[in-house]
Amino acid sequence: MEDWEGEWWLNTKSANVRAIMKTRIALAKSKGCDAIDPDNVDAYNNVNGLGLTKNDAIDYLKFLATEAHAAGMAIGVSLVLILNST
């Protein structure tokens, strides 16, 4: 990620990434969290090297929302305005 040394974009279309996130959501639930708040889901708006698009971001956020809700948790999304404006 440009300007963020040591951070990299993940391929959010990857089944492995999604399986890891599903496990992390379950971990958050087990620790008493009542919501998740995804960040850095705007790879489509940056040079990401993975070909990720706005539609990929929307699909990933829908996946996260489905998993969070299935765990009885809420989801907050701080980049909704960016998704709606591009």
67: number of Cβ within 10 Å: 19
* Alpha carbons 80 and 78: distance in angstroms, whole number: 6
Give residue 80's pLDDT.
58
* Alpha carbons 25 and 6: distance in angstroms, whole number: 24
CB 4 within 8 A of CB 36: no
Name the burial class of residue 77, with classes exposed (0-12), middle (13-18) and buried (19+) by CB atoms within 10 angstroms of its CB.
middle
34's tokens: 């009542």
> Tens digits of per-residue pLDDT, 47-72?
888 999 989 998 999 999 999 999 99
Model-level pTM? Answer: 0.85
